[in-house]
Amino acid sequence: MLLLDYSSLFIQCAFALRKRGQIYSERSLKIAFLSRLFALNKRFKRYGKVYIFADSGKYWRCEEFAGYKKKRAERRLTDDIDWDKLHNLQDTIAQEIRKNLPYAIMSIDALEADDLIALACRFYASKKGAHLIISSDKDLTQLLRSPNISQWSTGKHAFLQYDPKAFKAQLLRGDSSDSVPSIYFDGERLIESAGRRRLTDARLEQIDISSAESFRAYFKNDPEIESIAANYGRNRLLIDLNYIPRKFFPIFHKTLRQARQAAEIAAQNATEYLNEIGLLKKYQLIDAQR
């Protein structure tokens, strides 16, 4: 399986056009995205069929922690990018792919692309064959603990590796990119012991996160152990992709089956659609090398 993070690649294409001084339109973004998609499909065709996963724009994690991705949303209110326009174009082009190309593309309300890729790896890519995630998102590197799953960063143009120390640091120190605070902060206050026990690299080495019991053992003499433990549980839920709520599992399976069926039907439209937008030859090169 080739598991592609749609939002990540789409935004990269938009920013690349912008960097070249081009005003992106539906057509220019469509051409840029599909050209990148076909190039990636051709390069990594040995991994099999392409599955495209998109954010829904809603996040179940916000129900667990109101501050989730809050700073990112605030920054977008002050930059010079028309995010509403960009997201509308993103949705429009995703709909065209569903109707006209043989790629299973899916999104589910409340789930992020990360969640969908994680579930695909858990249920379909964890046991047989070699599978590749195409995304620059560092959060997905935790899925590389499975030896037959790899990740190609379209930003760095390199394969990424799972770093257990970095993942542990992310769980304990938080993740500023997603507005996830450290275990010393509950979203409203910094606990009193935080100044005395900073999360230095040496302390991170000492904290054992293999179980709830081993984690609590390190903080057993801290008067705010209950708050620290609760904050750690929050971070594990927000960051660790093994903690996706089970209620989404049947919805995921059903949606993926529907996406596969839609892709088979859409394949009938591919030649006419791609000929119309001038990408038929690039697409045919992929098939010619299968």
Q: Taking the chain, what is the end-to-end CA distance rounded to the nearest angstrom?
A: 15
CA distance 8 to 153: 10
For 167-203, write each residue's pLDDT tens digit: 999 999 999 999 999 999 987 778 877 666 788 999 9
Residue 197: the pLDDT is: 72
pTM of the model: 0.93
- Residue 282, judged by CB atoms within 10 A of its CB (0-12, 13-18, 19+), counts as middle
pLDDT of residue 195: 65
Over the stretch 200-244, which tens digit does the pLDDT of each residue have? 999 999 999 999 999 999 999 999 999 999 999 999 999 999 999
Query: H or E element: which one contains 105?
Result: strand 104-106
pLDDT above 60 (res 288): no
Dihedrals phi, psi of 25, to nearest 5 degrees: -125, 180
Fold of 164-241: DNA polymerase; domain 1 (1.10.150)
pLDDT tens digits for range 131-179: 999 999 999 999 999 999 999 999 999 999 999 999 999 999 999 999 9
Helix, strand, coil percent content, the chain, rounded in steps of 5: 60, 10, 30
Domain ranges of the chain: 2-162+245-285, 164-241
Q: According to the model, what pLDDT value does residue 158 have?
A: 97
Other CB atoms closer than 10 Å to residue 67's CB: what's the count? 16
Instruction: Please state, for a pLDDT cut of 90, what percent of the chain lies above it.
Output: 79
Give the separation between CA 184 and CA 186, rounded to whole angstroms: 7
Q: Is pLDDT of 250 > 60?
A: yes
CATH 3.40.190.10 fits 2-162+245-285, yes or no: no
Phi–psi pair at 190, nearest 5 degrees: -90, 125
Model confidence band, residue 56 (pLDDT cutoffs 50, 70, 90): confident
- Burial per residue of 240-260, b for 16 or more beta-carbon CB atoms within 10 angstroms, e otherwise: ebeebeeebeeebeebbeebe
Round to whole Å and give the CA distance between 207 and 215: 6
